[in-house]
Amino acid sequence: MNLGEITNAMSTLKNWSLNGQEIEKDFEFNTFQESIDFVNKVAELAEKHQHHPDIVISYNFVKLTLTTHSEKTLTEKDFTLAAEIDKL
């Protein structure tokens, strides 16, 4: 994707940040269990799309990072999965 396509795709997402060739978003929950429940839902989506984010869990915080590792850049796969995650 070129910069214009990335900028356009970013405008469709809720509070995701562009960081080089990755997009990322932080989520905050009330409890550790809520964090884990969310991550499990993300895992189901990731399996459905065959596209897997990097996930960092720190008690009630979850950070998701998306990039297409095989392409070493952002692709439509990243933005499609991010949009699905935003619906959770």
The predicted structure's pLDDT at residue 49: 96
**Three-class DSSP category at 24:** strand
Helices (H), 3-75: 3-10, 32-49
Q: Look at the chain and count its residues.
A: 88
Tens of pLDDT, residue by residue over 15-57, are: 999 999 999 999 999 999 999 999 999 999 999 999 999 999 9
CATH 3.30.1360.20 holds for 3-11+18-86: yes
Residue spans of the domains in the chain: they are: 3-11+18-86
C-alpha to C-alpha distance for 55 and 78, rounded to whole angstroms: 14
- Give this prediction's pTM: 0.94
Instruction: Compute how many other C-beta atoms are within 10 angstroms of the C-beta atom of residue 18.
Output: 15
C-alpha to C-alpha distance for 46 and 13, rounded to whole angstroms: 17
Tens of pLDDT, residue by residue over 48-83, are: 999 999 999 999 999 999 999 999 999 999 999 999
